[in-house]
Structures are given as C-alpha cells and as structure tokens.
Amino acid sequence: MKKQLLDQIIKNKENKSEFAIITNIVNGESCIYEKNKPIDKNFEKYLEQIKNYFEKKKNGIIENTDIFVETYIRPIKVIIVGAVHIAQYLVDYAKSLNFEISIIDPRGYFASEQRFPELKIINKWPDEAFKEIETNSSTALIALTHDPKIDDPALQHALNKKFYYIGALGSKKTHENRCQRLKDAGFSETEINSIHGPIGIKLGGKSAPEIALSIIAQLVAETYKK
C-alpha cells in the first residue's frame, strides 16, 4: 500500500469519516472510496457493487471479481438520557460496538465520572445539553429516567431531528401517558409510533443487566436497518 494512501486512511479514521478501502487482491492495487466522490479509474467499473457493499456496511469480495471491499463506518452517536443503573450496563455492552456514547442527566449525583469513567457526561437539562451535541437522523436516543421533565424534552428533540432509533423505558401505562403528552405537544401519531416503548426486545428478563441487554439488542437491530 502506498504511503499517500495509508496517510489518507489514518486521516479519515482520525476524522471519523465514513469510507471504504478497495483492494485488488491479485495485484495489490488499492484506493479509497468515499460517498459522492470520484473513485480511482482502475475500479470505476465496479462502482455500483462497491456502493452496494458500502451502503450495507459490508466487507467482502465482490462476486466473480478479485476486488475486496473493507468498509469503515463512523461511530454511531447514542445519547443516553438518565444515568441510572441500567445505563452502566448499557455502556459496558456498547464498549465493543461501533457506538459513541454520551450521557445527559442534570442530576450530578447520578451522572458522575466515578460511575461513568472516560465517557462524555453532560450535567444539564436536555434542552441545554443538546446545544453541546451535534445530532441528526443517524443519532440514537435511549431515555431511562421515567421523569417527564427530563425524558420528554429529549424525546421531542429526537423526534424533531428524526433520530433513527428512539427508545424510552417504562411500563405500558407510562408509555401511554408519554404518548398523550407528545400528542398534546403537537406530534403526529406516526412520529409518536416511531418511539420504542416500552424499550427493548422481549427477552423476559427483569434485572438491570437483562433489560440493558434487551435495549442494546434492539438498538443493534435497528442500526442495521438504517
């Protein structure tokens, strides 16, 4: 691999850019593919197949060719609202996944560096906290506090920004009340139905680590639908 190409790969990784390394495994020729940018002329005829691999976040050899595609996807922003016990297990599960976790909780005694070391913690109310985080439709939200004063503004922000995953902890009754408040706030039924509530897939578990596992499983499933 040429030094110029290697330098660009390192730079892209540092910038958390999304790209793919395209390699001819027979002659060793390589290039970088980035969305909406021209590709090396040696790989132009494979462009549609390369795009397909990239969009599906897949690695592999294009069928009936010697072209290997290795994708590098930007870490997905996951915002946890509520530094509760379940959040600690969520962070543990997420460490080995392609997620960039931030925690929002105005209650400093919950959201501390001691409980969540080496993690971005914002001890502010959601309306203020979201001014410090760049969010878009590739962001996920997990609301865990059960407190409408904290969860509701976060959910409204996520709906307005069209987060690809929005989940909220609570019983069916809690979720019904939450949905009514969002309806009263002007959100449509379609928008409200996009919220996973009660959050998580049905594993049957009741403990904090089991609930966290059900949430992370649902998040991963929705991530690969993107």
Number of domains in the chain: 2
What is the rounded average pLDDT of the residues 86-97?
A: 91
What burial class does residue 146 get, using C-beta atoms within 10 Å of its C-beta: 0-12 exposed, 13-18 middle, 19+ buried?
A: middle
- Rounded to whole angstroms, the Cα distance separating 187 from 181 reads 9
pLDDT digits (tens, 9 = 90+) for 38-60: 999 999 999 999 999 998 888 99
38 and 117: one domain? no
CA gap 140, 137 in Å, rounded: 8
Helix pair 85-94, 208-223: axis angle to 10 deg: 50
Tokens of 184: 């009263």
User: What pTM value is reported for the model?
Assistant: 0.77
* Same-domain status, 92 and 193: yes
User: Does 115 lie in the same domain as 35?
Assistant: no
Q: Give pLDDT, residue 1.
A: 64
- Rounded to 5 degrees, what angle do the CA atoms 32, 41, 54 make? 40
pLDDT at 111: 82
- Does 110 lie in the same domain as 46? no
Determine the pLDDT at residue 117: 87
- What one-character DSSP code corresponds to residue 124? S
Domain check: are 46 and 154 in the same one?
no
Domain range enclosing 129: 76-223
**pLDDT at residue number 185:** 96
Please indicate, yes or no, whether residues 51 and 86 belong to a single structural domain of this protein: no
